[in-house]
Chain A
Amino acid sequence: MKQCEMLVIGGGPAGLSAAIEAAEAGVKVVIVDANEKAGGQLFKQIHKFFGSSMHRAGIRGMNIGQELLERCEKLGVDIWLNSLVIGMYKDNVVAIDVKKNLTEHKLEKIQAKKIVIATGASENAVRFPGWTLPGVMGAGAAQTMANFHRVLPGKKVLMIGSGNVGLIVSYQLMQAGAEIVGIVEAQPKINGYAVHASKLTREGIPIYTGYTIVEASGDERVNKAVIAKVNPDWSTEPGTEITLDVDTITIGAGLKPLIGMSYMGNCHLMNDRFLGGWAPCHNYSMETTTKDVYVAGDASGVEEANTAIEEGKVCGIAIAQALGYLEEDKAEQMKKEAWGRLAGLREGAHGAERTAAKERQLLEYKKVMEG
C-alpha cells in the first residue's frame, strides 16, 4: 500500500488550493481526480470573476484554473487523473479505481496522514412531465459543452432558474450562438446579480419571473415547453400557459454538495438550505468530526469558486501546521487572513445567509465534539 502525507480528493479550485498551500510549506501532496484533466469546473467558467482584486476579480475562471495547475506542477504536487475514489476506510486508507482505458482498471490503495475532501457539488434537477427527454439538461452540462468542448447542445434554449448560474450560462450560450427563448424564475424576482440579468434583458431576452415550467414535449428530442404563472401556494394558474418552441431546456436550479466521501468517512453531516443541503460540519481548520479528514469548497456547502479557493487554503495551512511544517503562530495568522478574505467574499448577495450558515456549521462541530 502506498503512503502519503496529504491526499486531496478532487482537483478543483478547493483541492488545488489546499494542495498548493500545503506543498509550499513542504508537505508532500497527492491529488486524485476522477477526470481526464484537473481544474474541476473552472475551465468552463470563461467569465471574469467578481469581488475585489485580492479575490482575483476580473480574471476569468479558466485562467485561474490554468494558474492553479501550473503552481501545482511547479511545487511537485502528484496529480492522479482518471482516478476515482471508491472507498474510505479506517486508519485513513483510501481505495482508488485508476482507469487506464475502456476496459483496464487498476485498484490502488493509499494511506494518508491527512485527507481533504474537495469533491465539489452536483446540479439539482427539476422534475416536470417531459424532463427526461433528450434536450433537457443541466445548465452546467450546456455550459461544459459550449465553453469547454465548444459544441452547442441546441439552438433554441429555455433556461429554468435565474440565479447566477442560469443568467451567466444563458449569456454564454448566446455568445456561443444559441438563441435564448426565455428564462423562467418561479420566485417573484430575479435571483442572481442584476448586472448579469441586465446583459440579457438588453438583448431582449424575456425573463419570466413568477413563472415555472409545466411540461416539455417532443418525440426523440424536446421541441416544446409550456410555462405558466405560479400562485403563492406554488400551484400554476390555469389560463396563463405560454407555449414556446425550443430544442433545449437547461435547468439552473442550484447545486448540492457531493457528500459521498464525507458519508463514507463518517463525518457528521448537517442540513442547511443556504448551503445546498447536507454537508459535513467542520472547525476553524476545516477539519470534520472525523479526525484527519478535512473538507473544502462546495463539498462543505455550495458557494462559489473563490470561496472554495480560500477554504482550500485554510485546509492546506492547517494540515501543514498539524504535520509540523508551519509554526503555530504563522499558521494561525495565515488562517486568520484566509477567514478574513472569506468574510469579504460573503458580503455580497445572499452573503448574510451564507455567513450565518457557515457559523452554524462551526457551532454544530463544537456541539458534536463536546458531546
Chain B
Amino acid sequence: MRVVSHPVLGEMQNIEWVNIIVNGKPMKAKKGEMILAALLAEGIIVNRYTAKKHEPRGIFCGIGQCTDCMMVVNGIPGVRTCITPVEEGMTVDVQDGLGSWRGDK
C-alpha cells in the first residue's frame, strides 16, 4: 500500500512510472524506487524460499544488510531488492534456494 498523503511528508507528487515484470506478470513501479518497495506497494511480500526447508522469506532489514529479500532480477540470482532500484522492463522473480542464472548474463 502506498502512502499517498502523509501528515508530515505531504502528498505524493509528480510520480513517473516504469513497467516491470514480477513473477511473469506486468506491474507498474515508481521510477527510481527500490524493487522491494514496488512489490510491497502491491502487497507482494515473499521474495524467496530457503534452500533446505523451502520456507518463505521477506523484508527483514530493508537496508541491504540481511539478504532476506534476495530475488532473481533480470536473470541474476541473489539480488538484494531493498537496495536495487527498478528499471524499465526489468524482470523480477521469486528466488528458489540460491536461485539459478538465466540467459547470457
Contacts and interface: CB of A to CB of B under 8 A. Distances in A.
Interface string B47-80: 1000000011111111111000000011010010
Contacts of B61: 122-123, 137-138, 140-141
Given A36-B85, A221-B58, A145 B40 contact: yes
Nearest to A48: B8
B2 A151 contact: yes
B56 A150 contact: no
Given A102-B84, A103-B76, A221-B46, A135 B58 contact: yes
Contact of B83 (A36, A133, A175): A36
B45 to A, nearest CB: 4
Nearest to A102: B76
B3 A152 contact: yes
B65 A151 contact: no
Interface in B1-45: 1-3, 6-9, 12, 33-34, 36-37, 40-41, 45
Contacts of B47: 134
Contacts of A220: 45-46, 56
B45 A134 contact: yes
A149 B74 contact: no
A35 interface: yes
A35 B3 CA distance: 23
A46 interface: yes
A14 B64 CA distance: 20
Given A134-B58, A134-B59, A175-B8, A150 B76 contact: no
B63 A141 contact: yes
What secondary structure prevails in chain B residues at the interface with A? loop
A152 B58 contact: no
A176 interface: yes
A333 interface: no
Nearest to B38: A151
Contacts of A125: 60
Interface residues of A, number: 36
Contacts of B1: 151-152, 155, 177
Interface in A224-255: none
A98 B27 CA distance: 30
Contact of B37 (A60, A103, A145, A155): A145
A220 B2 CA distance: 21
Nearest to B74: A102
B21 to A, nearest CB: 15
Given A151-B37, A152-B3, A34 B64 contact: yes
B55 to A, nearest CB: 6
A158 interface: no
B3 A151 contact: yes
Residue with the highest number of chain B CB atoms closer than 10 Å, among A136, A149, A155, A221: A149
B28 to A, nearest CB: 13
Interface in A110-133: 122-123, 125, 132-133
Nearest to A153: B40
A144 interface: yes
B63 A150 contact: no
B95 to A, nearest CB: 13
Interface of A: 34-36, 41, 46, 60, 102-103, 122-123, 125, 132-138, 140-142, 144-147, 149-153, 155, 175-177, 220-221
